């Protein structure tokens, strides 16, 4: 599995090796091909707010954004799943809010992002419950 971790923020240390290990476990559990490609990008609150506005027309900071590859990318890279952008600062805030570890919070965002890239949605209540059930299954791993 080709998992690229890009850290574009400086406030919170990112353990690239651990991130890749967690992501690999999730992808294997979801039976993704061994040659699948996934990018994980860690950004500042400012940057994720810009992306949220650009892609979803929401002018606010969010925790995770999953962007599927475009048609051109899929033609070149058959197993390119897409990009998951995570805001570690938001993860830190939420870990305190929900009384969990930063590692757990980031893992949750990775699971959530992967599921979105694989077609799970959370806009309708029924779909959200399905996504959350699968997300919890991954987190138990």
Q: With cut-offs at 50, 70 and 90, classify the pLDDT of residue 35.
A: very high
Instruction: Give tens-digit pLDDT for 79-123.
Output: 899 999 999 999 999 999 999 999 999 999 999 999 999 999 888
Residue 8 predicted with pLDDT over 90: yes
Distance CA 77, CA 35 (A): 10
Residue 72 predicted with pLDDT over 80: no
Mean pLDDT (the chain, rounded): 93
Letter string b/e over residues 91-112, b meaning 16 or more CB atoms within 10 A of that residue's CB? bebbbeeeeeebeebbbbbbbb
Query: What is the structure's pLDDT at 79?
Result: 87
The topology (CATH level 3) of 2-139 is Collagenase (Catalytic Domain) (3.40.390)
Which DSSP category does 73 fall into? H
Query: What is the structure's pLDDT at 77?
Result: 76
Which DSSP category does 29 fall into? H
Domain residue ranges in the chain: 2-139
Query: What is the structure's pLDDT at 74?
Result: 67
């Amino acid at each position: 599995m080709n998992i690229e971790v890009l850290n574009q923020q400086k406030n919170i240390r990112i353990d690239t090796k651990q991130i890749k290990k967690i992501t690999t476990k999730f992808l294997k559990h979801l039976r993704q091909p061994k040659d699948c490609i996934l990018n994980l990008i860690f950004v500042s609150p400012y940057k994720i707010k810009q992306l949220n506005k650009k892609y979803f027309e929401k002018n606010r900071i969010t925790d995770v954004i999953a962007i599927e590859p475009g048609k051109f990318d899929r033609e070149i890279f058959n197993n390119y799943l897409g990009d998951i952008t995570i805001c570690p600062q938001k993860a830190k805030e939420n870990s305190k809010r929900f009384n969990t570890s930063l590692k757990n919070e980031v893992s949750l965002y990775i699971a959530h992002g992967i599921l979105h890239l694989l077609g799970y949605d959370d806009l309708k209540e029924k779909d959200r419950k399905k996504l959350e059930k699968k997300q919890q299954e991954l987190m138990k791993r």
